[in-house]
Copies of this chain bind each other. A is one copy, B any other.
Amino acid sequence: MALSSAHSWQSLEDDIRQRIQSREWLPGELIPNETDLASEFGCARATVNRALRSLAEQGFLDRKRKAGTRVTLHPVRRATLHVPIIRKEIEERNQDYSYALITSKSLIPPTDVRARMKIDDKQKLLKVQALHLADGKPYVFEDRWVNVAAISGWHMLDLNEMSANEWLVVHIPLTTGTMTFSAINAKGETANILQVAEQTALFVVERTTWDNDVAITDAQMIYAEGYRMRTSV
């Protein structure tokens, strides 16, 4: 009782998940339609729909009109990463956050950045480099290009006070974009700034952010040695 009545959509979800797990319904197999399930469970079709939709979002079912609902043949693991503002991430570990601006200048970006951001070769962007520190130790090096022309209110920002990263997340919250995760060997300036030996393996996140069809910013975040990004499935 309590939380979920006997006909709560979550209890249906659990029940159906169990049928999949127990292999009562095999991968690729068609399951009963919503109307039939509703009468089997003695509930409204909308409730069945809610449960099946949830399972489909999690990747366990494939649903198609007319074709019906099938157990996913090759389940794709979906890992949801929660990428917090760096300051928050550090503060949540009870460490002291600080931030140092390294560079802030207007330049024509190199070819690869222009390509990613679909910017022509005349337009200058703001190059911002900064270091985020946890308890005074380098945490992540931020190397970013910002399309200032596309952002109203940017002139209000003092980059010595607040990171470009944080300002953008809070002020341009509704954006799309891509992220890639990879590993690189530290070298030169990067090794220096992060205070690691040359060749140290570092975890890197790269993001290009779009506001509708306008590229807002392209950032490379290079984490200090030993950083791990975690998620639960």
Query: A residues within 8 Å of B by Cβ?
Result: 17, 20-21, 27, 60, 72, 74-85, 88, 169-170, 173-185, 199-204, 226-233
Offer 6 A-B interface pairs, CB within 8 angstroms, sorted by A.
Answer: A21-B173, A79-B80, A81-B231, A178-B230, A178-B231, A182-B228
Q: How far is the CA of A79 from the CA of B199 in the complex (A)?
A: 29
Q: How far is the CA of A202 from the CA of B199 in the complex (A)?
A: 11
Interface pair B60/A179, CB less than 8 Å apart = no
Given A179-B233, A199-B199, A169 and B82 contact (CB-CB distance below 8 Å): no
Interface pair B74/A83, CB less than 8 Å apart = no
Tally of this chain's copies = 2
Given A74-B88, A80-B78, A183 and B170 contact (CB-CB distance below 8 Å): no
Interface pair A183/B169, CB less than 8 Å apart = no
With a cutoff of 8 Å between Cβ atoms, the chain B residues found around residue A182 in the complex are 183, 203, 226-229
Interface pair B181/A181, CB less than 8 Å apart = yes
Give the nearest-CB partner of A59 in chain B.
B82
Q: Give the shortest distance, in Å, between A202 (CB) and chain B (any CB).
A: 6
Q: Give the shortest distance, in Å, between A57 (CB) and chain B (any CB).
A: 9
Q: Max chain B CB contacts within 10 Å: which of A80, A173, A229? A: A173
Q: How far is the CA of A60 from the CA of B76 in the complex (A)?
A: 26
Q: How far is the CA of A83 from the CA of B75 in the complex (A)?
A: 9
Q: Would you list the 10 A-B pairs with minimal beta carbon distance, nearest first?
A: A183-B183, A201-B201, A77-B83, A183-B201, A183-B203, A21-B174, A79-B81, A181-B229, A185-B201, A182-B228
With a cutoff of 8 Å between Cβ atoms, the chain B residues found around residue A201 in the complex are 183-185, 199-202
Residue in contact with A170 in the complex, picked from B74, B78, B204, CB distance below 8 Å = B74
